[in-house]
Amino acid sequence: MSTKTKYVRPFLKWAGGKYRILPKIHQRLPKGKRLVEPFVGSGVVFLNTHFDAYLLADINPDLIDLYKVIQKEGTAFIDHAASYFDGSHNTEELYYSLRAQFNTMPCSEDKGAIFLYLNRHGYNGLCRYNKSGEFNVPYGRYVKPYFPRKELLHFHQIAQRAEFICCGFEQSMDAAQEGDVYYCDPPYVPLNVTSSFATYYSDGFCYSNQELLAQKAEFLGKKGIPVLLSNHLNDYIVKTYHQADIYSFEVQRFISCKGEQRNSVKEVLALYGK
């Protein structure tokens, strides 16, 4: 079935989103009581599954704080966030002023609303920080950024079954309980030297992280807790995931430093356990 008719879109724009490969993830994701996502990103897998409970983690505190606010405040937050999308805030000057404000604010409902504004008004929906941890994405120059009201409402509803935690994957991989199923979507290994996607957050994600993640996935799989992982298909990943059941397929991706060039790349879904 086409992804256009069947699936819910996340309310955030997010690099590495899995919307287009949801049918393949659905085919391979084992059943269980609770879904754990150590790299939740925009939450597109969470939003399109039906587990009794969810443990959703990410290392990005701005993202997890926003999710907690929406979970708790619902329409009160959504109405407040909508005020930043009334058109009057869509100027270069106001974008940079709100970005500067965001970088000095403590966690609050308003900070969450500005994070959403920056995601939809900033260049390409990027989420990028400088070495001091300041959000530094330039203004996106969109005519009328979309306010994702229905996507936010859907998120609020199913977030009632979720627990959100801000942590590195080591901690969420160690939080496994009987009946859990894991879906791990880490920053991918670079396809080659010039196409690194591995800079989602200022900490980066290096090869030793990829190897530790594979070790932890194998450990859980042996204990009867299935772990499904996404990544690029290359020799390094085949070697690193050699204990898993590997399924590979082609996807269309924009992967160019110079302009928006569409390329076909191979990805894997690697399953430990089951």
- What is the binding site for ligand SAM (CB under 6 A)? 14, 16-18, 38-39, 41-42, 44-45, 58-60, 168-169, 185-187, 200-201, 205, 209
Contacts of the segment 25-28: beta carbons below 8 A, 24+ positions apart = 25/183, 25/228, 25/230, 25/269, 28/228, 28/247, 28/269, 28/271
Q: Which is nearer to ligand SAM, 61 or 224 (CB)?
A: 61
Name the residue number minimizing CB distance to ligand SAM. Answer: 41
We find the least distance from the C-beta atom of residue 241 to ligand SAM, in angstroms, to be 16
- Judged by beta carbon, residue 95 or residue 201, the one nearer ligand SAM is 201
Nearer to ligand SAM, 38 or 140 (CB): 38
Closest approach of ligand SAM to the CB of residue 75, in Å: 24
- φ, ψ (nearest 5 deg) of residue 12: -100, 150
- By the 8 A CB rule, do 137 and 123 touch? yes
Single-letter amino acid, residue 258:
K
Q: How far is the CB of 63 from ligand SAM (least distance, A)?
A: 6
Cα–Cα distance measured from residue 192 to residue 258, given in angstroms and rounded to the nearest whole number: 15
Q: In terms of DSSP bridges, do strands 162-166 and 262-272 run parallel, antiparallel, or are they unpaired? A: unpaired
Which CB, 38 or 145, lies closer to ligand SAM? 38
Nearer to ligand SAM, 90 or 187 (CB): 187
Nearest distance in Å: CB 36, ligand SAM: 12
Q: Are strands 227-232 and 180-184 parallel, antiparallel or unpaired?
A: parallel
Tokens of 35: 């879904």
Minimum distance from residue 136 beta carbon to ligand SAM (Å): 15
